[in-house]
Each structure stands twice: as structure tokens, then as C-alpha cells.
Structure 1
Amino acid sequence: MAAPYGISPTDRSGVIVIAATLFMSWMVLVSLFRVYMRVAMNGPAGWDDVVVWIGGAIGIGNVGAIMKSVSQGLGRINPSDEEGAMKALYTADLLFLASHGASKLSVCLLLRRLGREGAYIRLCTVGLGVLVLWVLASILAVALQCEPSKPWDLTQCRSFITGWRAMAAFDVITEALLVGLSIRLVWGVQMRRTQKVGVIGAFGTRILIVALIILRQRYLNRVGLNNLLLGMSNVVVTTEVLLHSSLMAATVPCLKPFVIAFNTGWGQGGQKDGSYLRSETSEGPPSKARSRPYPADDEIIMIPPAGTREGGGNLEEASGGLVIHETREWSLRTEYIEMQPLKGSVAL
């Protein structure tokens, strides 16, 4: 029977279990939000969705490996099965790299799907290639770390920390690449500044991932070869937070339609410009209302220059062949009120 999970200076297994299961639960919930949106709101699913869902499944496998390692002594000063715990931790590290890499690829695929400019799409394609190389190289480096016959045995190997430093450095670079691609996406698009900030902010949540990468590496640099499974506890906790936060951050740019679907407008005294249902005051009778469905997460509303707006609803850019469509949807609402005569009145 496995020992109960504890939280003490000599037993950090409870902290590892709480962090792994809690953040995995949040990640699964966010992934289900994305599934719901693609099925019921703005489908069909794209490759970016498929890749992040695969990454989520691998992330669940990572937590399973961590739980196996904890049951055999990870996070304790006196492990019951040190070699078994290291084997499970070794498996969890490989799954971590695969799942974390899938989240990055999903973001890059989404950015590529949003782009319309040829040069930008080619830039995203190059970014995809860089990410694939980083994932494969990192997995290979961890798989062959230390002694090839026992790559999971870290007790006689200090060089594994140097390898993780190199991987962390390129990890930060690729995160910066994704944020840079999001800035490049809206840089030349004519849209409100607040909308640009919103797009960049949605993808800019990856900056928090950079902070977690650096924090994880700082903990890893302090790990000693004595009581290795206990010393790795902070590294494992940070790894789980990093992994599942990375998967959730890949879905943040897609959450706007889901949030809008629950915005009923209840309690608002009036309708303001920018709402999804606002009264028409200048182009039609007061009894008519104009409605506009929420945009999908892979749509960017572009505003043409002031000198070209008077030509009509369809504009074409001569150089790139970009067509901007303006669509208006009208709905007519009619209310019938049955008038009842007052008592004592004479019907005409």
C-alpha cells in the first residue's frame, strides 16, 4: 500500500499531486470549452484545434506518469522505489516536451490561419518548421541524456541540467517568436487600436509562459544529486503549472465567442455602439433593429481608409487581391398588444 501524500520539508508529494491534478482539471475544462465552440458555435475544427487537443491528451498522460512516480517515491526523502520513480519521471519529461510543443504548434497554426498576406503566411510556415525542430531536438536530447543504457538515472549525471538550460533558452525564443507573429498579424491592418491591443493581448498571454520557463530552470539549477527525488519536487510542480498553462494559453485567443454567448445584456440601461444588438436610428424606422452575430475567432474586422469607404460594401486591394466584404443582417420585430376596454366604458 502506497504511503499517503504529505506536505512537509521531507515529503513534497502532496504538493506535486495537488498542482498536477488541479491544473490538469483546468486544462481539460478549457479544452472542453474549445470543443463546444467548434461543434456548436463557429466550427468546423481546424488543424490548430486538433493539435492542441492532441497536446491535451498527452498532457493527461504526463500527469499519469507523474502520479506513478509519486507513488514510487517522487517528492520524498526516502523513496520506496527510486529507480521506478526515476523511470516514471523520465517518461513524464518526454510527454511534457511533446505536449508543450503541441501547444506552441497550435498557436502558430492559428496565427497562420488568421493571416492573409503571402509574406506573413510564409513567415508562419518558417515558424512551424522551427517549432517542429525544437520539439524533436528536445525530445531526442532528453531521451539520450546521461548514460544511454539508463537515461532515466540522474544520480550519477550532472550534465542533464546543462541540456535543459539549452532547451529552456530555445523555448523562450520560440515563445517570443509567437508573440512577434501576433504583433505582425495586426501591424499593417487598419483596425481600431483597442482591437489591435486585444488581439496582441490574447496571444501575449504566452509571456506568462516565458516567466514559468525561467522559474522552472532556476529551480532546476539548484537541484543536487543528493536526495534527488525530493530536490526535484519544485521542478516538477513548476513543470506541471507550465505545461497546463501553456495548453490553456493556446485556447485563450479562441474564447471570445464563448464569452459573448453568455453576455445577455441583462441589467443594461441602454444599448451602446459596439453591442451585438443595437437600435437603428438613422437608416430605418424605430421599430426595426439591426443585429450582428459575433465574429469567429479566426476573423479580423478590417476598416478601409476613409477615402475608399464611399465606393460601396466590397473593396478590393489591387496589389494583393484582398476583398473586404461588408455584410448587414436585418431583423424585424413586431409586437401586438391586445387592448381591453375599461370597466364602465362604452364600446364603440
Structure 2
Amino acid sequence: MESTAPYAISATDRSGLIVIVEMLFMSWMIMVSLIRLYMRLAINGPVQIDDWMVFVASVFAVAHVGTVMNAISHGLGRSQDESSVWDLKRAGEGVYAANLLFLAGHGAAKISICLLLKRLGRQRNYLLFTKILLGMVTAWSIASILAVALSCFPQYQLSMAQNCTNLGIAWKSITAFDVITDIVTFGLSIFLVWGIQMRWKEKATVIFAFGTRTPVIVLIILRQTYLDRSLFHSDPSLHLSDALIATAVILHYSIMVSTVPCLKPFVIAFNTGWGQGITNSNGEHPYFTPTGKSASTTQSRAYTMNQREEDETDLDAARLSQDSQNSQQLIIHQTREWTVEEEYEMHSIENRI
């Protein structure tokens, strides 16, 4: 018997669980994205390209939730025998759109991390590796969207149609490359701080900031396990709910952890100046180059150290006139001033390659 509640949680109706997870994680994701936007506009701007990629991913994530909610209104998450609103075609179209938006949002979040790593590094080999990783992630995102879009048409997403047998192979390939790129991304975060002269505690802070993304690897593998069980099940609408929940968690969590390296603990530890770290007497945010030298965050600046040393020499002056009754000494103060200027320029990453 169909439940009177719009969304329920039971053995034959998991629509309520899908809605709770989608809305809860989406709300967290939006708050984190707004925090990042505020940081860039009011604290440590300007907005960089990696920030824009996170904001684009957030838009895709919100659209993903909308398509899932539309599919649920047509019976997604409910058993076919228990739902009077079950529409195989409409629900399949919603799942189709949700999958494409998931890949677009998840891919944009991964690209954002790659761009951030590229912007932080200065070593030639490191920059080369980040370029290769960025190309891999971008190619993976485009290829994944095309593979899912062409492997199975929308109306067949929840059916046993023979022309959708390639969908399972496509998802396995997507999952494999997704895991590989996340592992390489974490490895680059270690490479980023490995050769820098800083305390191990600070290095661990940087690695932990990027390492918050590693749980995504477990979630990706778990999601693939659920997909293998439900893609060609006799009641796919109900059994696909576990995979949909895992998809929602991966998407929103992936976007949220893309902001973690931009938060204050990471910025203070790495002290690169693109965050809101320690301020100097001029109100600017200094950073330290890999050689340990200090430079300005907004532009290449020169700093001047003035050293003054005064040597006083008392000279007896000749009498101005023989009729003068008082002797007078003329004291000459000689001031020597040295100005030492050292200039440290921070070129953009593009100019250093």
C-alpha cells in the first residue's frame, strides 16, 4: 500500500532517504561555497580560476538535486508495485540528467584542485606534473560525460534494454580513472611541500588539507559496488537508491573539500600569502617563498633597510678674530647613510614555465 506521506522510508520506498541526503549535503555545500566566495571578495581576493571552477561545480550540484527530485516525483526510489506515480520513462530521464550533472560537477571540483596545486607550485618538475594531471582530469571529465550520454538513452536508463549493456562498462572505466586521478592529486600535494624548508608539523597540515579528499576514493568504489548490483535489476528504481545516495555524497563532499585548502589553518601553516595569514605592520599579508624570503602578496615589492651611523668629530675652530674674548668650537655632525635594497619578485606561474 502506498504511503500517504510524500516521501517515506521503508523497505519498498527509499525516496525519503534520498531526499534527506540530497538536501542535507546540498545545504552544507552551498554554505561552504558561500564562505569561499566571501573569503575571496572580502579577505584574500581576488577570485581565481580555481574558485570559479568550484562555483561552477556548485551550480551543477544544485541542478543535480533538482533533476533527482523530479525523478523521485515520477517514482524513483520506490518499488514499481508500491507506487502509483511510477513512470519508467520520466524517472529514467531524471536519472540520465542527474548522472551527467554529477560528472560535470564532480569533474569541475577535481579540476579546481588541480588548478590550485598548479598555482601554488614553483618547481619545474612539479609544474609539469600538475599540467599533466590537469590534462588528465579534464580529459576524464569530458570523456566520462560523453560515455554516459552515449551508452544509454534516457528512456532506457531504468529498463532492461539490450542497448544499455555498455553502460556498466562505461561506469567501471569512469570509476577506475576517477580513483587514479584522486590518488595522483594527493601525491602531488605531498610533492608540493616535500622540498620546502618548513617544519614537519606545517607540512602535515598542508598534506592533511588536501588529504581530506581521500575519503572520496572510498565513496567512489562503494558507489560502483551499488551500481553493479542495481543497473540491470528487475526493480531498478528501488535498488538504484543506494547508488543515488552515494552519488549525492560524493558530489557535494567533493565540492566542499575543494575549499578546505583555502581555509585559515592551511594558510597560516603554508603562509603563501594568498590566504588570510599573519599580517605585517603595513596591513599586508606576507608570504614566504620556498627559499624562506619574505615578499608581498599583491605585487613584487622591494624593501629598504636603512642603517644610520653617526660619527661625531670635534674640531677646534680657529679664532674668528683676535679681538674676540671667547673661544668658540664648531662641532660638525657627519651622518653617513646606507640604503640596502633587495628585491624579490613573484612572477605568475605562467611566466615561470
Shared fold, TM over 0.5: yes
Residue ranges of structure 1 left out of the alignment (5+ in a row): 261-274, 278-289, 306-311, 324-348
Find the counterpart in structure 1 of residue 157 from structure 2: 152
Q: CA RMSD in A?
A: 2.9
User: What is the alpha-carbon distance in structure 1 between the residues aligned to residue 22 and residue 39 of structure 2?
Assistant: 26
Find the counterpart in structure 2 of residue 8 from structure 1: 10
Find out whether 1:225 has 2:236 as its counterpart: no
Q: Mean alpha-carbon deviation: is it higher for 221-230 or for 134-143?
A: 221-230
Q: Give CA deviations for 1:154-176 in whole Å, capped at 9, x if unaligned.
A: 43244422221111010000101
Distance 1:291 1:92, change over 3 A: same
Q: Give CA deviations for 1:83-134 in whole Å, capped at 9, x if unaligned.
A: 1011011000000000000000000000111011222222211111101110
Given that 2:158 and 2:237 are in contact with CA atoms closer than 8 Å, whether structure 1 keeps it comes out as no
Given that 1:38 and 1:45 are in contact with CA atoms closer than 8 Å, whether structure 2 keeps it comes out as yes
Distance 1:67 1:119, change over 3 A: same
User: What is the alpha-carbon distance in structure 1 between the residues aligned to residue 115 and residue 76 of structure 2?
Assistant: 36
**Counterparts in 2 of 1:131-280, with a 5 A limit?**
131-146=137-152, 150=155, 152-156=157-161, 157-223=164-230, 224-256=232-264
Distance 1:300 1:236, change over 3 A: farther
Q: Give CA deviations for 1:277-315 in whole Å, capped at 9, x if unaligned.
A: 9xxxxxxxxxxxx8697958xx5664649xxxxxx9969
Find the counterpart in structure 2 of residue 90 from structure 1: 96
Q: Give CA deviations for 1:152-204 in whole Å, capped at 9, x if unaligned.
A: 35432444222211110100001011111111111111111111111111001
Given that 1:3 and 1:71 are in contact with CA atoms closer than 8 Å, whether structure 2 keeps it comes out as no
Distance 1:300 1:85, change over 3 A: farther
Distance 1:149 1:113, change over 3 A: closer
Q: Give CA deviations for 1:17-48 in whole Å, capped at 9, x if unaligned.
A: 00001000000000000000001100001000
Given that 1:101 and 1:135 are in contact with CA atoms closer than 8 Å, whether structure 2 keeps it comes out as yes
Q: In the alignment, residue 188 of structure 1 is paired with which amino acid?
A: G
Q: In the alignment, residue 147 of structure 2 is paired with which amino acid?
A: A
Shift of 1:143: 0.3
User: What is the alpha-carbon distance in structure 2 between the residues aligned to residue 182 and residue 172 of structure 1?
Assistant: 16
TM (norm. structure 1) is 0.74
Find the counterpart in structure 2 of residue 309 from structure 1: none
Given that 1:276 and 1:291 are in contact with CA atoms closer than 8 Å, whether structure 2 keeps it comes out as no
Q: Which secondary structure does the structure 2 equivalent of 1:43 belong to? A: coil
User: What is the alpha-carbon distance in structure 2 between the residues aligned to residue 33 and residue 105 of structure 1?
Assistant: 20
Distance 1:117 1:163, change over 3 A: same
Query: Kindly, what percent of the aligned residue pairs are identical?
Result: 46
Given that 1:21 and 1:63 are in contact with CA atoms closer than 8 Å, whether structure 2 keeps it comes out as yes
**Counterparts in 2 of 1:34-73, with a 5 A limit?**
34-73=36-75
Q: Which secondary structure does the structure 2 equivalent of 1:222 belong to? A: helix
Q: Which secondary structure does the structure 2 equivalent of 1:74 belong to? A: coil
Residue ranges of structure 2 left out of the alignment (5+ in a row): 269-276, 294-339, 348-353
Q: Which secondary structure does the structure 2 equivalent of 1:198 belong to? A: helix
Find the counterpart in structure 1 of residue 303 from structure 2: none
Q: Which secondary structure does the structure 1 equivalent of 2:214 belong to? A: helix
Given that 2:61 and 2:252 are in contact with CA atoms closer than 8 Å, whether structure 1 keeps it comes out as yes
Pair member with larger Rg: 2
Q: 1:108 aligns with which of 95, 108, 114?
A: 114
User: What is the alpha-carbon distance in structure 2 between the residues aligned to residue 205 and residue 90 of structure 1?
Assistant: 29
Given that 2:89 and 2:154 are in contact with CA atoms closer than 8 Å, whether structure 1 keeps it comes out as no
